[in-house]
Amino acid sequence: MDLAVVKYNGEKTGRKVSLTSEVFGIEPNDHAIYLDVKSYLANQRQGTHKSKQRNEISGSSKKIKKQKGTGGARAGNIKNPQFKGGGRIFGPVPRDYSIKLNKKVKDLARKSALTYKAKDNSIAVIEDFNFEAPKTKQYLQLLKSLALDSKKTLLVLPEVAKNVVLSGRNVQNTKVITASQINTYDVLHADHLILAEGSVEKISNLLNKA
């Protein structure tokens, strides 16, 4: 598939870039996509949740009333989970939610996601660029020139361009990443993919490694 390359201000360059069929034209694997998205979301969880259990509550360990003869249920100390201020039964404890996924499955998922975007004609290629200074106004103008200002977009750069990243970080429904950071979730979450010209080759090389 060949796509026309445009400048970030919307002007035509007259050049075209070829999207390799090995990355942007495979038979999509929905199960690989499911596994990769599940892994990505699970890996975002900190797992630092914690509540105090009975053995961690401050308080007396003395039995609060005699075992029999009160007419009520048996009770131990004040740290009993059934009392106000007592420990929590089976409360959350810190844990690792991360899910390990084989590299081949992750690569297949990313190729599948990129293929879906290519099939939907939801990929735009722009000439490599950088801003002289961080300006949100310039980033909004970029989106407007591509007629994507009302859509969720993902801009993929070949290398980190600090001024571009800073310009786009406060813009709603957009995200800026580098080719090495591309992942299935971000690709599918965006309505439209904006690839800087230099990132196309980098993505192909990254996903076609043996």
CATH value at residue 28: 3.40.1370.10
In the predicted structure, residue 210 carries a pLDDT above the cut 80? no
- Range in 2-16, 73-87, 94-108, 180-194 with the lowest mean pLDDT: 2-16
Q: How confident is the model at residue 8 (pLDDT cuts 50, 70, 90)?
A: confident
Q: Using the 3D structure, point to which of 36, 68, 96 is the last residue of a domain.
A: 96
CA distance 112 to 39: 16
Which amino acid does the sequence have at 156?
Answer: V
Asked if 33 and 9 touch (Cβ cutoff 8 Å), the reply is no
Indicate whether 38 and 124 sit together in one domain.
Answer: yes
Indicate whether 203 and 125 sit together in one domain.
Answer: yes
Q: How confident is the model at residue 91 (pLDDT cuts 50, 70, 90)?
A: very high
Report which of 171, 179, 115 is spatially closest to residue 143, judged by C-alpha positions: 171
Indicate whether 55 and 153 sit together in one domain.
Answer: no
Indicate whether 27 and 68 sit together in one domain.
Answer: no
Indicate whether 102 and 69 sit together in one domain.
Answer: no
CA distance 161 to 142: 15
Q: Using the 3D structure, point to which of 80, 96, 112 is the last residue of a domain.
A: 96
pLDDT tens column, 174-209 = 999 999 999 999 999 999 999 999 999 999 999 987
Angle, in degrees to the nearest 10, between helices 197-207 and 103-119: 140
Indicate whether 107 and 140 sit together in one domain.
Answer: yes
Identify the pLDDT of residue 9.
81
Which amino acid does the sequence have at 1?
Answer: M
CA distance 120 to 108: 18
Strand order in the sheet with 2-6: 12-18, 2-6, 123-126, 192-196, 153-157, 174-178
Which structural domain range is residue 163 located in?
Answer: 2-45+97-207
Report which of 207, 185, 182 is spatially closest to residue 37, judged by C-alpha positions: 185
Indicate whether 108 and 91 sit together in one domain.
Answer: no
pLDDT tens column, 9-35 = 878 888 888 899 999 999 999 999 999
Paired tokens of 114: 């990129």
Indicate whether 145 and 166 sit together in one domain.
Answer: yes
In the predicted structure, residue 159 carries a pLDDT above the cut 60? yes
Q: What's the whole-number mean pLDDT along residues 161-178?
A: 93
Identify the pLDDT of residue 11.
83
Identify the pLDDT of residue 1.
80
Indicate whether 21 and 71 sit together in one domain.
Answer: no
Identify the pLDDT of residue 184.
96
Element (H, E) at 31: helix 30-43
Indicate whether 85 and 106 sit together in one domain.
Answer: no
Q: How many domains does the chain have?
A: 2
Indicate whether 25 and 121 sit together in one domain.
Answer: yes
Beta strands 123-126; 192-196: pairing state: parallel
DSSP states along 153-164: EEEEESS--HHH
Q: By three-state DSSP, how is residue 165 classified?
A: helix
pTM of the model: 0.83
φ/ψ of 39, rounded to 5, equals -65, -45
Indicate whether 117 and 36 sit together in one domain.
Answer: yes
Which residue reads 């942007």 in tokens? Answer: 24
Q: How confident is the model at residue 4 (pLDDT cuts 50, 70, 90)?
A: confident
